Amino acid sequence: MKKIILFLAILSVGLIASCSKDEDSNGSTPDPNPNPTPGNVFKAKVNGDQKNFKVISATQIPSPDPEEDYTSVEIVAEMIGDPTNTFELGFDRESGEVYFVQYVETGTYYQGIPEAPPSENMIFPIALDSGNTAKIMRGTFYGTMQETDSGPGSVTITDGTFEIHF
């Protein structure tokens, strides 16, 4: 009986010691918001200042209407080191026509300026790379966005580039 109790005691100590530390032993803190695909790139100059973003999501959305053959791409990115600065870009995968673009900088929202009616597209040109495939999409963009809260402010986007891996 003493041998069984001693055996159980040693086994219990071994189990407790092995489960006492569930974290990695390298001492690094895991990234709480990892990039879905590490190869994704999204960057631009905002009023001349270079901003590098981490892509949070990149989604392809097929047309809900079976008679229309198009796919939308929606990209959401946040600035590396400052998640209060975000960039959202929605466009037609084939033509590059932008239907939504928004930049948020510390609580101030800026959106793309629409073309004259009846068009709902934004004056925010995207040039899609001719080598795009179903798995990789690259492009460049630029434009001006107006503050949305009736403020007089605007931001100018230049040298915008993205590379998305689906």
For the segment 103-141, what is each residue's pLDDT rounded down to a tens digit? 999 889 999 876 655 555 567 878 888 888 888 889 999
d(CA 99, CA 148): 16
Contact 45, 27 (CB under 8 A): no
Q: Is residue 153 part of a domain?
A: yes
Which residues span the domain enclosing 127? 35-165
In a domain, 80, yes or no: yes
- Please report whether residue 138 resides in a domain: yes
Q: Confidence band (pLDDT; 50, 70, 90) for 49?
A: very high
pLDDT confidence of 35, banded at 50, 70, 90? very low
pLDDT at residue 119, as a whole number: 56
Q: Give one DSSP letter per residue of 92-119, joined into a string.
A: ETTT--EEEEEEEETTEEEEEPBPSTT-
DSSP state of 134: S
Residue 17 lies in a domain: no
Q: What is the pTM of this model?
A: 0.71
pLDDT at 79: 94
Please tell me the total count of domains within the chain.
Answer: 1
Give pLDDT, residue 42. Answer: 95
Question: Is position 4 within any domain?
Answer: no
- Position 128 in a domain: yes
Closest CA to 87 of 73, 71, 97, 74: 74
Please report whether residue 55 resides in a domain: yes
**What per-residue confidence (pLDDT) applies to 114?**
67
Could you tell me if residue 69 is inside a domain? yes
Instruction: Give pLDDT tens digits for 56-108.
Output: 999 999 988 888 888 999 999 999 999 999 999 999 888 888 888 999 998 89
Question: What is the arithmetic mean of pLDDT over 9-30?
Answer: 44
